[in-house]
Chains A and B, each alone.
Chain A
Amino acid sequence: EPEVTQTPSHQVTQMGQEVILRCVPISNHLYFYWYRQILGQKVEFLVSFYNNEISEKSEIFDDQFSVERPDGSNFTLKIRSTKLEDSAMYFCASSAPSGRGNEQFFGPGTRLTVL
């Protein structure tokens, strides 16, 4: 069964460093998303991506964040200069193009720890 994969599973970085979180969505999906979950809090939407551009972003997704689909398979989230408060679990998701209410398929997440 196709699945969304994410690498790495755990990333530790120093404050101020750049990190890139990688995701491989399901191959025939066209909508891509990033969510994050700070420990003990709810899962929050960061950004959605369709047709090679951002379709929506939340207030969290400021200039320190960027997304890219560099090739036909990967979908990346870059945090340019990490802050302590960026420590969280980051989930990638993808969905098929067949209409509204589509199931979003989630990856296992990347746990980012900023020291």
Chain B
Amino acid sequence: AQSVTQLDSQVPVFEEAPVELRCNYSSSVSVYLFWYVQYPNQGLQLLLKYLSGSTLVKGINGFEAEFNKSQTSFHLRKPSVHISDTAEYFCAVTFIQGAQKLVFGQGTRLTINP
């Protein structure tokens, strides 16, 4: 069965510090990978996605993620965070063959302290 694990449920960082949110997946088939962000009282918004090609993908709001097939990871990074980045971040996969449902990780709450 496919699964996604986000290793940190909460990550507090200071403003302008770098951050990495970790995501690992388990799948017997090839997958597409996504990071979604949920701001308070809002829906899920796509930050970035990996479908194929370059393993380093850039997204909105200065975020980027690197796909590592050997480690089955897709960690999200930002070199300098802002207060406005405070949100819940979800890693998700969908499968290249078959259904298009998203399988989500548990989410990581990113809190930016001034």
Q: State the A residues within 8 Å of B (CB).
A: 4, 31, 33, 35, 41-45, 48, 55-56, 58, 91, 93, 95, 100-109
Contacts and interface: CB of A to CB of B under 8 A. Distances in A.
Contacts of A42: 90, 104-107
A115 B32 CA distance: 39
A100 B34 CA distance: 13
A106 B100 contact: no
A101 B42 CA distance: 23
A91 B88 CA distance: 15
B11 interface: no
A100 B32 contact: yes
A48 B99 CA distance: 9
B107 A107 contact: no
A106 B46 CA distance: 9
B96 interface: yes
Contacts of B44: 43, 91, 93, 106
A104 B42 contact: no
B45 A41 contact: no
The 7 closest A-B pairs by CB, nearest first: A106-B44, A106-B43, A43-B104, A45-B101, A101-B32, A56-B99, A101-B51
Interface string B17-42: 00000000000000010101000011
Interface string B83-104: 0000000101010100111111
A105 B41 CA distance: 16
A90 B76 CA distance: 26
Given A106-B43, A108-B42, A109-B43, A45 B32 contact: no
Contacts of B94: 100-101
